[in-house]
Amino acid sequence: MEPRLSYVIGRLDHVLRRRIAEVVEPHGLTVSQYTALSVLRTRPGLSNAQLARRALITPQSMNEVLAQLTALKLIRRHPDPNHGRAIRTDLTPGGERLLQACDREVDALEEDLLAGMHISEVEQFHELLVGCVRRLGAGL
Domains defined along the chain, listed by start: 5-135 (1.10.10.10)
More confident: 122 or 89? 122
The model's pLDDT over 11-47, given as tens digits with 9 standing for 90+, comes to 999 999 999 999 999 999 999 999 999 999 999 888 8
Q: What span, in angstroms and rounded, lies between the C-alpha atoms of 89 and 121?
A: 35
Nearest by Cα to 96 from 34, 45, 53: 34
Is this prediction's pTM over 0.85? yes
Q: What span, in angstroms and rounded, lies between the C-alpha atoms of 91 and 70?
A: 10
User: Highest mean pLDDT: which of 71-80, 81-90, 96-105?
Assistant: 96-105
Q: How confident is residue 10, by pLDDT bands cut at 50, 70 and 90?
A: very high
At 140 the pLDDT is: 67
Q: How confident is residue 119, by pLDDT bands cut at 50, 70 and 90?
A: very high
